[in-house]
A and B are shown apart, each in its own frame.
Chain A
Amino acid sequence: MLKITDVSKTYGNNKVKAVDGIKLEVASKQILGFIGPNGAGKTTTMKMITGVLAPDAGTITINGHDIATDPIAAKQSFGYVPDSPDMFLRLKGMEYLNFMGDMYGVSAEQRRDKIASMGEIFEMTGALNGRIQSYSHGMRQKIVIMGALLHDPAVWILDEPLTGLDPRSSFQLKEMMRRHADAGNCVLFSTHMLEVAEKLCDKIALINKGRIVFDGELDNLKMQYNRLSLEDIFMEVTANA
């Protein structure tokens, strides 16, 4: 459903590649945990997938649509939660959701159902009349997640989505991710919470200094490194890379 082939990115005149010839694939029914140290290239990769940044080389297809040649259809196929939820601060929660619904062409009926159900799941219903500016960090994260998932996209791209969420909302989002993948869709999410990635993900992609150093199932990763936990593997890989 999501395929990244030989993608590279260099910023400005910098000789160091932020992302260096990476390959990734997330198939239907899969959750891919994208992990790596700060500055490894996770956010740059996600920005290239979503069309925010243009890669210097390589191709990215989402649900069969190339983000470079068929951007509107590709963008329509995913829901993206960026790493910072501080956006559209002067809109009210409901105005933001209606705006996102309009941008993605969500019907009034689907919009009502989704807002009502997600509002209950994230305990946001009561706050939708307030301006996003007045929300706490966690509430902003929740409203951005609601806006990204409003059009029921097949591909979820979530950049550290659990940051700032309370335990209940965090649990609910993880459940939603699992259900979404099981329904034949896919999720790509970056996280620094290795125990969450360990429990939730079908696949792990470990990126360091712009290169994918491992991409596969967690069991294979543990066998390859002869370690019991993802944390131990992460420490070893990022120390030696």
Chain B
Amino acid sequence: MRKCWAMVKIFLKVILGQMFNVKVGSTENKWAGPMIWGLVVVSLAPIAWGIYYMLNGMYAVFAEWGYLNLMVGLTLNVGSLIIFMLSLLTAPAIFYFSKDVEYILPLPVKPAQIIGAKFAVAMVFEYMLAVFLVGIMFAALLGNVGVGALTFNMVLTALTLPILPMVYSTVIIMLLMRFVRFIRNPDKYNWIIGIAGLGLGVIFMVYSQSMFSLDEEALLAMLMGEPVTMTALNLVFATNYFAGLAVSASDFGGMALNQLLNVFFAFVGLSVFFFAARALYFKGVIGLSESNSGGKKMTREDIMTGAVGQGIFRAYVMKEIRVLFRSPVAFMNCVLMVLFMPVLLAISFVPIITSGGDEGIMELLAAIDLSDPRTAAIALVAVAILALTMSGAATITATAISREGRNFFVMKYLPVRYQTQLNAKAACGLTVIGVGMLVVFIPLFIIFRPPVLLAFGAVLIAATCAVFLNYLGLFFDLFKPKLEWDNEAEAVKQNMNILLMIFGGMGAAAGVGFAGWFWLHTPLVAFIALFGGGLLLMGLALYLVLVKGSLMLKNLY
């Protein structure tokens, strides 16, 4: 047990060190990590409030009807599903891709101790989520259940909630790693799981939209009808079913019995995990870091056709795009954010438009007449707001130097001017933003059919906004790049520049909205102000990157 605990401490120290210590250049910034987490907490607060508000109402009604257990069970099942999906993403990094097992195996520790330590570390992160969810439930249930019973139930529920989802996800991961060879590559795994996660997220969003549209009576009818999905979820996450019964039990005996069953099924889950891990884990993890150069074998003839040249700038841009698109973490966070945002927006609006349910929105859409000067001015302001928000979400340039990591020095010994290299990085970002904007603006142009001059003006405004924020992001990253990292995710996910970029884009969009509301009332005034202002800011950003930024790069070590 002592050895197991020692391993847990070491594993946690490494992971938490990566999460909370943000290194800037060669110096460690003690405040950057807590600031990022502080911002995460602040941004989660409205979500927590929204969930609390919804659950509080639901629990009150269901308690009155005597079906509180169904609603508590449903909430816990949704929580379990979220934990299951997240652990599919996070657990492989702890169990397989951290590559520490090969250093630990020669030490005098039992396999079960290694497995236990790994599972405990993985559970720490799931418990963070469980405490968040159960905490909201606790607050929402106050008033419907006595405080003493509620505390007893919620402590046990928080302890057991993540166990079954974690067991299922780790067993699935162990089976995949043991028997599916191609998935043993971290990039391929993250790709598949990332895309699958997005797909599931969309399905979840669509499904939850239909659930939210139900009132309490319709929801109760659905739960009472025991649809297949609910029955299956209750079977799969048996702990939640009994936790739901325990919370709504009228006497202590019923509550204690149900909680006992809740804990019992959690132990059954843990036993299944240890049994499966003993059979599968080490056979899958050993040899994972052994390399095997993939791809079709090249011949001398292939070299004769494959060794082709292109211009320096184009070659550099192509290298940037290849590296960006082949890195799952960079692709998901920097590229997909831009391309996925329009899809999410469309998903949110499609049900309203197709059902014609929200007459307000339909009337508003029908009333848009772009030949009207005021409406045309609003359209230009809207284009600027959209372009700034999208460009802010595209954090490609804001991580362009950080993603180089310790290898940034290659930029310094290549016989290529720093300006050319920085322009190539910006061009990579602009390419993605350009595609994202086409995805958004082409359908909008088709729907609203703006006059040619207005459309041309909108394109110019969007382009200046994109170039401005793109170069500004690059300047942020030149100013404070995060070059010391072991895992690329640190350069992308735990980087203050990303927050600066996103909030910078949103702040600029808010400023444009404010100006639009008060001053930009005709299309000409709006165009001159937005395009002229955009050009000025673009010029400033170009100066910062190409003059100041080149010097920063030269002095960076």
Contacts and interface: CB of A to CB of B under 8 A. Distances in A.
A99 B315 contact: yes
A90 B295 contact: no
Contacts of B555: 54
B487 interface: no
Interface string B18-42: 0000000010000000000000000
Interface in B160-207: 187
A189 interface: no
B553 to A, nearest CB: 11
Contact of A75 (B299, B406, B413): B413
A29 to B, nearest CB: 24
Contact of A129 (B297, B413, B415, B416): B297
Contacts of B323: 88, 90-91
A41 interface: no
A101 B309 contact: yes
Interface string B408-446: 011011111100000000000000000000000000000
B413 A80 contact: yes
Contact of A87 (B304, B316, B407, B557): B407
Interface string A128-162: 11110111100100000000000000000000000
B300 A125 contact: yes
B412 A52 contact: yes
Interface string B296-314: 1111101110111111100
Contacts of B412: 50-52
Contact of A128 (B26, B303, B309, B327): B303
Interface residues of B, number: 42
Point out which of B292, B295, B307, B416 has the most chain A C-beta atoms below 10 A from its C-beta.
B307
Contacts of B303: 94, 112, 115-116, 119, 125, 128
Contact of A136 (B291, B295, B300, B309): B291
Given A50-B413, A94-B307, A98-B309, A134 B407 contact: no
B101 to A, nearest CB: 19
A226 interface: no
Interface residues of A, number: 52
A75 B298 CA distance: 31
Contacts of B298: 94, 119, 125-129
Given A54-B554, A127-B298, A103 B307 contact: no
B307 A98 contact: yes
Contacts of B327: 90
Given A90-B327, A134-B294, A98 B415 contact: no
B298 to A, nearest CB: 4
Given A102-B312, A108-B307, A52 B413 contact: yes
B283 interface: no
A111 B306 CA distance: 10
Nearest to B410: A87
Contacts of A87: 407, 410
B293 A111 contact: no
Contacts, number: 132
Interface string B301-342: 011101111111001100100110011000000000000000
Nearest to A44: B557
A163 interface: no
A92 B307 CA distance: 13
Interface in A52-109: 52-54, 71-73, 75-76, 80, 82, 84, 86-88, 90-95, 97-99, 101-108
A130 B315 contact: no
A111 B309 contact: yes
Contact of A53 (B326, B406, B415, B557): B557
Interface string B383-414: 00000000000000000000000110110111
B307 A129 contact: no
B378 to A, nearest CB: 44
A47 interface: yes
Given A75-B414, A90-B323, A98-B315, A129 B302 contact: yes
Nearest to B418: A71
Contact of B308 (A86, A108, A125, A139): A108
A127 B413 contact: no
A103 B312 contact: yes
A99 B291 CA distance: 23
Nearest to A137: B291
Given A52-B412, A130-B294, A139-B293, A98 B308 contact: yes
A87 B409 CA distance: 10
B293 A72 contact: no
Contacts of A126: 297-299
A52 B557 contact: yes
Contact of B296 (A51, A72, A119, A129): A129
Nearest to B297: A126
Interface string A33-54: 0000000000000010011111
A36 to B, nearest CB: 20
Point out which of A73, A93, A107, A112 has the most chain B C-beta atoms below 10 A from its C-beta.
A112
Given A94-B303, A104-B415, A108-B308, A135 B315 contact: no
Given A90-B323, A112-B303, A128-B298, A135 B308 contact: no
Contacts of B316: 99, 102-103
Given A112-B303, A116-B304, A51 B293 contact: no
B43 to A, nearest CB: 31
A99 to B, nearest CB: 5
A43 to B, nearest CB: 11
A51 B291 contact: no
A107 to B, nearest CB: 7
Nearest to B404: A87
Contacts of B308: 98, 108
Interface in B233-265: none
Interface string B472-509: 00000000000000000000000000000000000000
A128 B302 CA distance: 10
Contacts of A139: 291, 293
A139 B291 CA distance: 10
Contacts of B310: 102
Point out which of B298, B311, B326, B554 has the most chain A C-beta atoms below 10 A from its C-beta.
B298
Contacts of B293: 93, 127, 130-131, 134-136, 139
Given A75-B415, A134-B295, 7 more contacts: A53-B557, A102-B315, A103-B316, A127-B293, A127-B295, A127-B298, A128-B302
Which 6 A-B pairs give the minimum distances between C-beta atoms? A102-B315, A130-B293, A129-B295, A75-B415, A130-B295, A127-B293
24 contacts: A51-B412, A53-B557, A86-B407, A88-B407, A90-B323, A90-B327, A94-B298, A94-B303, A99-B315, A102-B316, A104-B415, A108-B308, A119-B298, A127-B295, A127-B297, A127-B298, A128-B302, A128-B306, A130-B294, A131-B294, A131-B295, A131-B326, A134-B295, A135-B293
